[in-house]
Amino acid sequence: MGSNSATISEENHSEHDSHDHSHDHGKHSQSEQVIKSGEYTLKLVTVPSDKGVHIAFYLLEGEANKQVKTAQV
């Protein structure tokens, strides 16, 4: 989820290619990483804060990506 120092062309990019896809290209914007396993999706969202970086975890289930509110980290 960090920024890349290499020049990256826009060809052959996807959300799962481990490159920085934040709107500000790594310049302290909100970004997310998505991990899929079977019926579940784990979404990690990073947001800059005054004390560093806040990381929120969301566990989603099924094709509708319904949030699992009872999930514990």
Domain ranges of the chain: 31-67
pTM of the model: 0.54
Q: What is the DSSP string of 21-49?
A: --TTTTSS--EEEEEEETTEEEEEEEEEE
Hey, what are 7's tokens? 């020049």
Taking the CA atoms of 18, 22, 23 and 26 in sequence, report the sign of the dihedral they define: negative
- Is residue 44 classed exposed, middle or buried when 0-12, 13-18 and 19+ CB atoms within 10 A define those classes? middle
> Measured between alpha carbons, how far is 51 from 14 in angstroms, rounded to an integer?
31
73: amino acid identity, one letter: V
Residues 2-59: pLDDT tens digits? 332 233 334 444 555 555 555 555 555 678 899 999 999 999 999 888 999 999 999 9
